[in-house]
Amino acid sequence: MPQEHAKKDRRVVRSQEALKQALLALMSQKSFDAISITEIVESANYNRGTFYAHYENKEALLDDIIDELIRKFLASFRAPYEHQDVFRINELTANSVKIFDHIHQHAELYTTLLRSNVMPNLREKMFLALKEISMDELEYPTTGVNQELLAIYSIHALLGLIFHWVESGFEQSTSYMQEQLILIIQWRPMEVKAKKEG
């Protein structure tokens, strides 16, 4: 049963899909802020009233696109442990490793979102989604470390690497990013030198 709640009117499905595709097409050409609702509906060949019948504003339309992407993103994170009970360090990092695969798989879409300057929003949503499942579904053996703060720290760090990878235009290979993540997690700060002036 693929339909989740109430089966939607075909007209609604058509309209929303056309609006989403129109927005994505425009976003591959210009900044999200520079796109007007009028522009979206004319590109999609719908009436402006139809837009407002389904969405409050263009952010809501973008959210629709992003939410679908995040569902797939979460699935890639869950994949390594959904049939397991206990992880050791190598298996844990395998979680994050799968995420790099997901991103590379949807490189074009992520690049469009980057080009259109909506990454900060996407990042925030991805953080919330990742935090929720990692607090619900994982358990860290901590000794005096606040578990929530640890999760927040780790997830933001991971997302930082991922979005940098997208911003760099996928300069590095997927496996290089995966390697580096593992190295960084195992890295211990010992001594940091201040560079000389100049």
Q: What residue ranges bind DNA (CB under 7 A)?
A: 7, 9-12, 14-15, 36-39, 45-50, 52-54, 56-58
With CB under 8 A as the contact rule, the residue among 150, 169, 171, 173 that binds a second copy is: 150
Residue recorded with tokens 């860290």: 140
Three-state DSSP class for residue 8: coil
Picked from a second copy, DNA, none, the partner binding residue 137 (CB below 5 to 8 A depending on kind) is a second copy
171-to-138, 159, 168, 175 alpha-carbon distances in Å:
32, 17, 6, 12
8 A C-beta contact, residue 38 and residue 73? no
How many residues bind a second copy (CB under 8 A)? The answer is 54
With CB under 8 A as the contact rule, the residue among 71, 139, 169, 173 that binds a second copy is: 139
CB of 85 to a second copy, least distance (A): 6
With CB under 8 A as the contact rule, the residue among 138, 169, 171, 173 that binds a second copy is: 138
With CB under 8 A as the contact rule, the residue among 92, 109, 114, 129 that binds a second copy is: 92
Output phi, psi for 146, to 5 deg. Answer: -65, 120
4-to-7, 89, 109, 196 alpha-carbon distances in Å:
8, 36, 25, 61
